[in-house]
């Protein structure tokens, strides 16, 4: 039905005309399909063909990636997000699900599969794909009562056969598309969508699927939970096959021309893995199963977004001592590239501005990636601010990784090292509870150096007193009480403002974090 466009370059006039033609074609399919919400003639071959054509319409344009993104967002805005269309999708989904459940999706009879299950899979797969493009369509669909209530009931109904491995592969595929579809809406991190999912208590339902036997459904469930679950212990991936599928999927996506695998992009897979890696048990498992080669490919991709996400993920993994050793061993040859990347981040704002200004007929790998990110936001200012925050986060991750690995780099003509001395102090009080027991500083050799003091909020008074005493002894004291507004400022200050004179870091904290090595490392980085 469609001529799939794969050309790298399209003239503007051809691009606009073809985009319009494709959108008209999708609207024709959708209009015909949604009419069945009134006629209910779902048993016809025409309906089945329309459902399949709707799924295939997502792939009408595949390259250039920026053009494919523009096409899909346009379809979501101008075709799929109309209130009547969304309601019709919900009604059809409900009707097909009801008919299938009533006959228990009797898979011994191929007629039942042809009439209800296959069209239902095609419809849900299409929704899954388009929900990935923009939050605009997701906002409409998650507020469609008939659709969301059917989703809730279906997931409850299908859990026993899925859990007990009695479900057919077709039914499992449907469940995977349903969970992954809601995840695709969630991953845009839109406040309204997230609030709606919480309101419907879908997390409680999906959480159960994380323990089922099917690794693909598990993967979809964990992708969902990465954006909704607040209890880190729940995110532990106990099935090794699930972890392997995550890694296989990311590896496949990094090598794909379309930067996707199983409908998931490189960036969303890496981000979900990074969130899941906040669970300490997952860190070691991900490294043991081979995540590092995938992240190495991302670092060498010359695509800004992939490099940034890889750095963020590596930093998260490095809080596990064994994983940190593996990162040092397997990515040690990339340290010069990491050094170069640090200097590139210094001018990232100017680079991003010039890249964004490029025309679509001057594509580069980096420009295409930046364009894709920018097109997801309606407001260019919002897109720019999000991009800026992402770069700042990646820069902090890079500095954190440098700290964890204990390497030194050159940035902006300055050598940045881990501090020469990191002093951890457990504050002790005199009996009156007012002043810390601290010997006065008397070393005259450090008076040309800065002493940095970081502290837990409960030790603010003690930190202030220590700073006062050090200054009395002619030390230059840099304390976040005076200079810092946030942890971001603290990290930036270490690396840029006074990194060349910072000599001692004095950290005040309680004894609790030292009982666990991973937590101990996290605490060090939170202070720095």
494 to each of 388, 459, 505, how far by Cα in Å? Answer: 20, 21, 10
Spatial CA neighbour of 394 closest among 350, 356, 355, 348: 348
pLDDT band at 42 (very low <50, low <70, confident <90, very high): very high
User: Given this model, what pLDDT does residue 456 score?
Assistant: 66
How confident is the model over 324-329, as a mean pLDDT?
89
270 to each of 116, 205, 229, how far by Cα in Å? Answer: 35, 24, 17
User: Given this model, what pLDDT does residue 14 score?
Assistant: 81
User: Given this model, what pLDDT does residue 516 score?
Assistant: 56
Tens of pLDDT, residue by residue over 375-406, are 344 556 766 777 777 777 777 777 777 777 76
Which of 62-66, 457-461, 516-520 bottoms out in mean pLDDT, i.e. has the lowest?
516-520
Q: Are residues 199 and 327 in the same domain?
A: no
Q: Choose between 477 and 79: higher pLDDT.
A: 79
Q: What is the CATH number of the domain that holds 359?
A: 1.25.10
pLDDT band at 65 (very low <50, low <70, confident <90, very high): confident
How confident is the model over 39-49, as a mean pLDDT?
94
- The rounded distance, in Å, linking the Cα atoms of 31 and 88 is 10
Q: Are residues 298 and 211 in the same domain?
A: no
User: Given this model, what pLDDT does residue 101 score?
Assistant: 77
pLDDT band at 470 (very low <50, low <70, confident <90, very high): confident
Tokens of 367: 């420009």
What pTM did the predictor assign? 0.69
Tens of pLDDT, residue by residue over 276-315, are 999 989 999 999 999 999 999 998 888 888 988 998 899 8
Q: Long-range contacts for 361-369 (Cβ within 8 Å, ≥24 apart)?
A: 361/9, 361/11, 361/12, 363/8, 363/9, 363/64, 363/66, 365/301, 365/302, 365/303, 366/302, 366/303, 366/304, 368/64, 368/65, 368/66, 369/303, 369/304, 369/305, 369/306
Tens of pLDDT, residue by residue over 197-224, are 999 999 999 999 998 889 899 999 999 9
Q: Are residues 200 and 307 in the same domain?
A: no
How confident is the model over 435-457, as a mean pLDDT?
55
Q: Are residues 175 and 213 in the same domain?
A: yes
Q: Are residues 371 and 423 in the same domain?
A: no
Beta bridge partners of 507: 424, 454
How confident is the model over 331-349, as a mean pLDDT?
62
| Domain extent for 129 | 1-230
SS3 content of the chain, % helix, strand, coil (to 5): 70, 5, 25
Residue with tokens 């729940």: 234
Average pLDDT, the chain: 77
Show which of 373, 402, 418 is a domain's final residue.
Answer: 418
- The rounded distance, in Å, linking the Cα atoms of 18 and 34 is 24
How confident is the model over 433-440, as a mean pLDDT?
44
- Count of structural domains within the chain: 3
Tens of pLDDT, residue by residue over 412-432, are 444 444 444 445 454 444 444
- Work out the widest C-alpha separation in the chain, in whole angstroms: 90
User: Given this model, what pLDDT does residue 304 score?
Assistant: 82
Show which of 368, 397, 418 is a domain's final residue.
Answer: 418
Q: Is 413 exposed, middle or buried (0-12, 13-18, 19+ CB in 10 A)?
A: exposed
Residue 86 has phi, psi (to 5 degrees) of: -60, -45
Q: Are residues 186 and 300 in the same domain?
A: no
- The rounded distance, in Å, linking the Cα atoms of 386 and 349 is 12
How confident is the model over 105-121, as a mean pLDDT?
71
Q: Are residues 331 and 439 in the same domain?
A: no
User: Given this model, what pLDDT does residue 503 score?
Assistant: 64
How confident is the model over 113-139, as a mean pLDDT?
92
Q: Are residues 430 and 371 in the same domain?
A: no
Q: Choose between 2 and 114: higher pLDDT.
A: 114
User: Given this model, what pLDDT does residue 244 score?
Assistant: 93
Show which of 368, 394, 418 is a domain's final residue.
Answer: 418
- Would you say residue 27 has pLDDT above 70? yes
Q: Are residues 95 and 181 in the same domain?
A: yes
Q: Are residues 505 and 368 in the same domain?
A: no
Q: Is 527 exposed, middle or buried (0-12, 13-18, 19+ CB in 10 A)?
A: buried
Q: Choose between 335 and 177: higher pLDDT.
A: 177
Q: Are residues 4 and 153 in the same domain?
A: yes
Q: Are residues 257 and 362 in the same domain?
A: yes
Residue 238 has phi, psi (to 5 degrees) of: -80, -20
């Amino acid at each position: 039905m469609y001529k799939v466009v794969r050309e790298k370059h399209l003239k503007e006039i051809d691009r606009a005309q073809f985009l319009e033609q494709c959108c008209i074609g999708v609207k024709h399919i959708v209009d015909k399909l949604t009419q069945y919400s009134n006629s209910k003639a779902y048993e016809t071959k025409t309906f089945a063909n329309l459902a399949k054509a709707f799924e295939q319409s997502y792939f009408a344009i595949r390259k250039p990636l920026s053009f494919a993104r523009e096409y899909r967002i346009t379809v979501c805005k101008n075709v799929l997000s109309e209130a009547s269309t969304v309601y019709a999708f919900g009604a059809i989904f409900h009707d097909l699900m009801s008919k299938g459940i009533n006959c228990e999706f009797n898979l011994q009879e191929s007629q039942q599969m042809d009439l209800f299950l296959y069209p239902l899979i095609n419809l849900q797969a299409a929704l899954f794909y388009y929900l990935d493009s923009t939050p605009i369509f997701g906002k409409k669909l998650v507020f469609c009562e008939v659709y969301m209530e059917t989703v809730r009931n279906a997931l409850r109904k299908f859990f026993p056969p899925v859990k007990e491995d009695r479900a057919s592969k077709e039914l499992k595929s449907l469940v995977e598309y349903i969970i992954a579809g809601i995840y695709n809406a969630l991953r845009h991190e839109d406040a309204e969508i997230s609030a709606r999912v919480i309101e419907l208590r879908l997390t409680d339902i999906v959480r159960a699927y994380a323990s089922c036997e099917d690794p693909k459904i598990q993967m979809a469930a964990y992708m969902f939970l990465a954006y909704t679950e607040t209890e880190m212990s729940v995110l532990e991936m106990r099935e090794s096959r699930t972890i392997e599928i995550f890694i296989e999927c990311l590896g496949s996506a990094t090598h794909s021309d379309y930067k996707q695998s199983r409908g998931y992009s490189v960036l969303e897979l890496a981000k979900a893995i990074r969130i899941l890696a906040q669970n300490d048990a997952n860190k070691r498992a991900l490294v043991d199963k081979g995540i590092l080669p995938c992240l190495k490919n991302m670092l060498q991709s010359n695509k800004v977004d992939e490099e940034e996400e890889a750095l963020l993920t590596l930093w998260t993994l490095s809080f596990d001592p064994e994983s940190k050793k593996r990162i040092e061993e397997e990515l040690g040859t990339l340290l010069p590239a990491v050094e170069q990347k640090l200097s590139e981040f210094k001018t990232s704002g100017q680079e991003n501005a010039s890249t964004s200004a490029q025309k679509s007929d001057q594509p580069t790998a980096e420009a295409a990636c930046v364009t894709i990110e920018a097109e997801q936001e309606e407001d260019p200012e919002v897109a720019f601010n999000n991009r800026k925050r992402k770069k700042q986060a990646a820069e902090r991750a890079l500095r954190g990784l440098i700290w964890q690995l204990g390497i030194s780099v050159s940035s902006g003509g300055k050598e940045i090292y881990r501090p020469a001395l990191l002093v951890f102090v457990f504050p002790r009080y005199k009996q009156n509870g007012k002043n810390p027991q601290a010997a006065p500083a008397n070393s005259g050799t450090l008076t040309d150096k800065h002493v940095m003091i970081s502290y837990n909020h409960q030790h603010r008074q003690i930190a202030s007193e220590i700073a006062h005493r050090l200054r009395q002894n002619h030390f230059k004291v840099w304390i976040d009480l005076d200079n810092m507004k946030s942890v971001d400022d603290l990290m930036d200050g270490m690396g840029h403002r006074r990194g060349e004179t910072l000599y001692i870091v004095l950290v005040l904290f309680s004894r609790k974090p030292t009982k666990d090595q991973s937590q101990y490392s996290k605490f060090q980085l939170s202070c720095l």
